[in-house]
Structure 1
Amino acid sequence: MVRHDVRGRSLVTAAILSAVLGCGAAPALADVSLYDANGLKIDGAFTGGVSLLTSPGAQFGAGTYSVPGAPTHRISGRPSWSELFLHPELKASYDTGSFGSFYGDVSAQLTATGGDGDASLVSTTYGHPVLLDVENLYAGWRSGKVFGDLLDEDGLDLSGGRQSFRVGDGFLISSGVANGGQRGGWWNQSRTAFNQTGLAKVSKGPFRADIFYLQNDTSQDKMYNLDQAKTQVVGGNFEIFENADKVEGGPERNGATTFADRKWYVGLTYFNVINAKSDGQFSYGSGFGRQAGNAYTVTNTITSNRDGMNVISAHLGGNFLSAVPDFSLYGNVVYESNDSAGKKVDANAWYIEPGYQLSNVAWTPKLSYRYAHFSGDADPNNQTKTAYDPFFYNAVTRGYGTWFMGEIVGNYIISNSNVNVHMLNFSVNPRDDLKLSALAYIYNYDEKSQYSTGSTLVTSDSLARELDLVAEWAITDNVSLSAAAAVAESGRGYRDYLKTQNAGLGAKDELWWLGETSLVVKF
């Protein structure tokens, strides 16, 4: 299946990105103080990690390839690879006393991928890519007590530059960069910063509002399908929340700035795409369907037709019922529309995820179920695209399965478009520092005809089934280790899909295995 631009991770990545975002699922450690006097404070931080992965039976036996478009050079049927990232960071702030505080952040990232690259049908991280580049470069001002009781302390936060930004649990907005190609790091997903941002964050009590301008990083957009369309959006986000209970001996909870500090939240987001690249591989619509003999259709331009698009999203999550504190509910619904001439879009996505934890039972077992829907396109040859555009999703908040649903299928097949996913997640905590999880998935195409070409038809909705077993161990406050084993079985629909890509690839039905382990250090 066509690779999308952003891939995500697990709780380990949440720990990685908590240093970058300042509001990940894992609690951020205190930075290393380098200077603190006369209102000026300079801190350093570092996050680094190494991951090892192997995947026998990749692509259900078809293997992975190195040539985009029409796979011809087979890399391996059981790719094995490693990923490394190093992320040093320098932060500075100056407290003026009466007029708030100014702050800035600069960081770099080194990423490297070895071995066979990733297990996608076409592996863009094959060839040992290494990249050293700027990650954060931004500055801002926080209001302190300037507005008195009108806003919270630091209730107005203005910033701009190259930085990360997320809404809710990252279903729609959480990463501004694709991690394939020379950026490497396909599994770790440690790069998340948007290339340009302008942010205004306002908070008062249980309310938070954001006004944002975002432009994604598309420095690889001239390479085949390695980036999204270059996109500039302007929008707003409004949320109401309740802070989680304070942990004895811990700091006060602040749900306005820290996602993990919320007991529950409800939010509404809107943005308009004020400019987006719409030519070349990002073209779609009248004259670009298969009947016109052109390759640019919805199947390889999921991020097309963005220019002028309107996107509205409602989201919620957390423990809403005080009488039943072990019950949780998460959900999100997104509607995308575009009426611009030649760029018609009418697409949607949504998910619902109830869960229940037995907090008074040994090992605190938790069970949750999620159904996620991402619309597909029944007729890629007409003038309206109904396949959902997942925009800037990533996995930085709630662990494995958010928002890359499945260590195999979620990372190396689906793109959170034209798919419906059932997920069952069961976890236990034998110790405070150890979490064990089992996740089961069933994947079905939303519109199987989206991938049919000529006489080669996708005849079934069935895409795949998958089972993941995961262990996450917080060795110390600074060191985390995770390991996972996964197995997936292809469905008739995906075997048909492989035939549409290359006659020599279908119909593969081997079991696809994956083993992975990752060590992360942060301070």
Structure 2
Amino acid sequence: MEHTRQSRLPRQAIGLGIALLAAGSSAQAFELYADDDTTVTGNFLAVYGLFNSRKNYDGSAGGSSWREGFIKYGLSIEQTLDGRGSLYGTANLVSSGTWGDGDAAGLSDGSERTTKFDEAFAGWRSGDLLPLLGKDGVDLSFGRQVITLGDGFIINDDGLNVGKGVADGELNRGGAYYLAARHAFDKTAVLRLGGKDGVHGSLLWFKSDNRAQANTEMAAGTLEYTAAPGTLGLTYIHGIDVDEHYASDFQKQRDGMDIYSLRGAGDAGIENAHFSFEYAWQDKDAGPQKAWYTEAGYTFAELPWSPDLTYRYSRYSKNWDSMFTGTNRGYGTWFQGEVAGNYAGPFNSNTAIQHVGLKLKPTETVTIGALFFDYKTLHTAQALNLDGRELDLYVEWAANEHLIITPLLGLYKPEKDASNGGNQVGGNGTNVYSQLVVAVPF
């Protein structure tokens, strides 16, 4: 297939990063050495994906077929200090690449390859040294690491992995756009106080080296209370600086921006239920912006396959900046729709989204899922009309401890196309999107 890429970077387009789910599991590490005081573990995760979209969203006709992959490998060390807490550290390299046509949004062209450090951080935990603050009531860390605040609605990680398809390659991060091979912020200082129960909080400073994020620098603080029914939390974020060479006019408003949010998550004391919400507002030069969601779900544990049904409504104002959002609880958070969330838009701005999700567990190692999304553009004047609907069907199969296979089929139907106010090229018919992702964690 030959076509000409004439895309521009969607200001909030972000790959899903399914590998985060495997990367967060203990299966990713294998013990190399251990004694009473020291533990050394090796980290390894390989992820490979095959992707096909019959439609494009970058101005080019036809569709796209491409492949993405990365290997993450490194070491983690923990050293206890005779009643004075423990030291810990991690160093992980990531080798990544994209092959074929590049993705359907035109953010990569299939020629991206690189090997770089992703995580490289060290820290100290207090252990039982400060009993008033609980076990590990002080946790201080520095370096390249992933930072997540709450549910990842605003800050989940630095997972935007743009390739060479835009800005003459200046924003290239080395491939694996959808898989989001890299997640760590370049420079961080994090102080967590109070453990994970009762009253606890954190103070954070972090700086991105991601040019697609304009090398944004920010500071943040959180205050949370966790009990059996769930967690309530407050977040404050302040924008310190952006690199004006790479920043769009939209991103330049991060300099001096203040963000506030109130959030909650838990079962509210109802067995098998799950609830969450967040209400956030941004105070910036162009005026205040708001985003919020509310979600409720229930697992029918006594029925065959334990069906879990979820409904969520989310709303993002016209100029909401989706910041560093990312995948936190699997498909649909916070890239809502595999086609819409990654390639077509809306990209968590100027939209209202209704979502219904169903998960089934036929066996301990297999999950079957269906995700439905309905998108409504709030303001169409001087903006694309991205009204549409999407249905995603997927299977997650943990074939064994070191092999996870996930096929997915996406059906995306926009109301408009590139000829009358939308961005799907070749008419507004249903796009059939497919992918197969294989993860090998150790």
**TM-score normalized with structure 2 length:** 0.90
Task: State the one-letter code of the partner of 1:36.
Answer: A
Q: Deviations over 1:1-22 (max 9, x none)?
A: 8523562437x4332331xxxx
Compared with structure 1, are the counterparts of its residues 403 and 495 closer, same or farther at alpha carbon in structure 2 (3 Å cutoff)?
farther
**2:11 matched to which residue of 1?**
4
**1:23 matched to which residue of 2?**
none
The 5 A counterparts of 1:445-484 are 445-451=377-383, 463-484=387-408
Q: Deviations over 1:441-473 (max 9, x none)?
A: 11111211142xxxxxx6xx5621111111111
One of 79, 100, 107 as aligned partner of 2:64: 79
Aligned-residue identity in percent: 27
One of 171, 181, 197 as aligned partner of 1:190: 181
Compared with structure 1, are the counterparts of its residues 237 and 433 closer, same or farther at alpha carbon in structure 2 (3 Å cutoff)?
same
Q: Is residue 240–residue 267 contact of structure 1 (8 Å, CA) maintained in 2?
A: yes
1:207 and 2:199 are equivalent in the alignment: yes
**1:36 matched to which residue of 2?**
34
Deviation at 1:477, TM superposition (A): 2.2
Deviation at 1:281, TM superposition (A): 6.0
1:436 and 2:368 are equivalent in the alignment: yes
Deviation at 1:507, TM superposition (A): 7.3
Compared with structure 1, are the counterparts of its residues 188 and 507 closer, same or farther at alpha carbon in structure 2 (3 Å cutoff)?
closer
**1:275 matched to which residue of 2?**
241
The 5 A counterparts of 1:274-313 are 274-277=240-243, 279=244, 282=247, 284=249, 301=250, 303-313=251-261
Deviation at 1:178, TM superposition (A): 2.1
The 5 A counterparts of 1:206-355 are 206-218=198-210, 221=211, 227-242=212-227, 264-277=230-243, 279=244, 282=247, 284=249, 301=250, 303-320=251-268, 322=269, 324-338=270-284, 343-355=285-297
Aligned length: 424
Deviation at 1:29, TM superposition (A): 2.4
The 5 A counterparts of 1:40-119 are 40-59=38-57, 64=58, 71=59, 74=60, 77-119=62-104
Compared with structure 1, are the counterparts of its residues 391 and 86 closer, same or farther at alpha carbon in structure 2 (3 Å cutoff)?
same
Task: State the one-letter code of the partner of 1:9.
Answer: L
Q: Is residue 95–residue 101 contact of structure 1 (8 Å, CA) maintained in 2?
A: yes
Compared with structure 1, are the counterparts of its residues 336 and 427 closer, same or farther at alpha carbon in structure 2 (3 Å cutoff)?
same
Q: Deviations over 1:279-320 (max 9, x none)?
A: 456353xxxxxxxxxxxxxxxx3x331111110011112211
**1:258 matched to which residue of 2?**
none
Q: Write the distance in 2 (CA, Å) between the matches of 1:133 and 1:282.
A: 23
Task: State the one-letter code of the partner of 2:401.
Answer: D
Compared with structure 1, are the counterparts of its residues 134 and 462 closer, same or farther at alpha carbon in structure 2 (3 Å cutoff)?
closer
Q: Is residue 28–residue 45 contact of structure 2 (8 Å, CA) maintained in 1?
A: no
SS at match of 2:336: coil
Q: Is residue 58–residue 513 contact of structure 1 (8 Å, CA) maintained in 2?
A: no
1:160 and 2:142 are equivalent in the alignment: yes
The 5 A counterparts of 1:140-159 are 140-147=123-130, 149-159=131-141
Q: Which runs of 5+ in 2 are unaligned?
A: 1-7, 164-171
Q: Is residue 260–residue 280 contact of structure 2 (8 Å, CA) maintained in 1?
A: yes
Compared with structure 1, are the counterparts of its residues 137 and 442 closer, same or farther at alpha carbon in structure 2 (3 Å cutoff)?
same
Q: Which runs of 5+ in 1 are unaligned?
A: 19-26, 65-70, 222-226, 244-262, 285-300, 377-386, 452-457, 500-504
**TM-score normalized with structure 1 length:** 0.77
SS at match of 1:146: coil
Normalized per residue, which structure has more strand?
2
**1:129 matched to which residue of 2?**
112
SS at match of 2:252: coil
Compared with structure 1, are the counterparts of its residues 345 and 17 closer, same or farther at alpha carbon in structure 2 (3 Å cutoff)?
farther
Q: RMSD in angstroms over aligned alpha carbons?
A: 2.2
Compared with structure 1, are the counterparts of its residues 146 and 78 closer, same or farther at alpha carbon in structure 2 (3 Å cutoff)?
same
Q: Write the distance in 1 (CA, Å) between the matches of 2:99 and 2:68.
A: 6
**1:253 matched to which residue of 2?**
none
Deviation at 1:118, TM superposition (A): 0.6
SS at match of 2:421: helix
**2:311 matched to which residue of 1?**
369
Q: Deviations over 1:83-120 (max 9, x none)?
A: 11100021112211122111211110001111111111
1:513 and 2:432 are equivalent in the alignment: yes
Q: Write the distance in 2 (CA, Å) between the matches of 1:350 and 1:2.
A: 25
Compared with structure 1, are the counterparts of its residues 14 and 506 closer, same or farther at alpha carbon in structure 2 (3 Å cutoff)?
closer
Compared with structure 1, are the counterparts of its residues 196 and 462 closer, same or farther at alpha carbon in structure 2 (3 Å cutoff)?
closer
Deviation at 1:493, TM superposition (A): 7.5
Q: Deviations over 1:316-375 (max 9, x none)?
A: 12211x2x312221111110002xxxx333111111111122111111112111111111
**1:297 matched to which residue of 2?**
none
Task: State the one-letter code of the partner of 1:368.
Answer: T
Compared with structure 1, are the counterparts of its residues 30 and 175 closer, same or farther at alpha carbon in structure 2 (3 Å cutoff)?
closer
Q: Write the distance in 2 (CA, Å) between the matches of 1:38 and 1:344.
A: 57
- Determine which structure has more spread, i.e. the larger CA radius of gyration: 1
